[in-house]
Amino acid sequence: MRLWHQALISELPRQQLLGQHREIAALRGNGWGRKHATVDYVFRYSPYKLFQFHLLVMEEMVHRGYQLDYRWYDPLYRGQHYLPYESLSLVATTDPIYPEHDMAYFKECVANL
């Protein structure tokens, strides 16, 4: 499981883009707080940051013509099998969304593609 560098989202092949959506959906659901060697850094931030990242992925999916469940656009939504968050504090969007997504991470992601 990995979050691709956000600058690469528009360049991801179909399979990686759809996989990214599934992985984020899993993290937003029951995966929140569960150890994942490559994505543990997301747990240091509000779940709202993951929602912000998910918006980028969903925007690209819509751009490519994919149909999405509109419920994912709700930051409190955690999937059909999990209770939604009662509330989340809004967090300003930063660029990059995750500071770990620096140039070294970008190069690592390009090498993995």
pLDDT tens profile 38-62 = 889 999 999 999 999 999 999 999 9
Q: Distance between CA atoms of 20 and 39, rounded to whole angstroms?
A: 12
Q: Which long-range contacts (CB under 8 A, 24 or more apart) does 9-14 make?
A: 9/56, 9/57, 9/60, 10/60, 10/63, 11/113, 12/60, 12/113, 13/113, 14/64
Give the model confidence (pLDDT) of 72-102 as tens digits.
Answer: 999 999 999 999 999 999 999 999 999 999 9
Burial 30-65 (b: 16+ CB within 10 A, else e): ebeeeebeebeebeebebbbbbbbbbbbbebbeeee
| Distance (Å, whole) CA 4 – CA 48 | 17
Write down the pTM of the prediction.
0.94
Per residue in 96-112, pLDDT tens?
999 999 999 999 999 99
| Residue 65 pLDDT greater than 80, yes or no | yes
Per the model's pLDDT, the better-predicted residue between 2 and 13 turns out to be: 13
